Amino acid sequence: MNIKFVVVGKLKEKYFKQGIAEYAKRLSRFCKFSIVEVPDEKAPENLSQAEMDQVMAAEGERILSKIKDREYVYALAILGKERSSEEFAKELKDLTTYGHSDITFVIGGSLGLTPAVLKRADAQISFGRFTLPHQLMRLVLTEQVYRAFMINEGSPYHK
Q: Which residues are annotated as a binding site for S-adenosyl-L-methionine?
A: 76, 108
Please name the residues in contact with 34: beta carbons below 8 A apart, sequence gap of 6 or more.
2, 3, 4, 5
Which residue ranges make up the annotated binding site? Answer: 76, 108
Chain centre to alpha carbon of residue 57: 18
For residue 134, which phi and psi values (nearest 5 degrees)? -65, -25
Amino acid at 147: R
CB 138 within 8 A of CB 7: yes
d(CA 96, CA 102): 9
Q: What is the 3-state secondary structure (H, E, C) of 47-87?
A: CCHHHHHHHHHHHHHHHHCCCCCCCEEEEEEEEEEECCHHH
CB 137 within 8 A of CB 127: yes
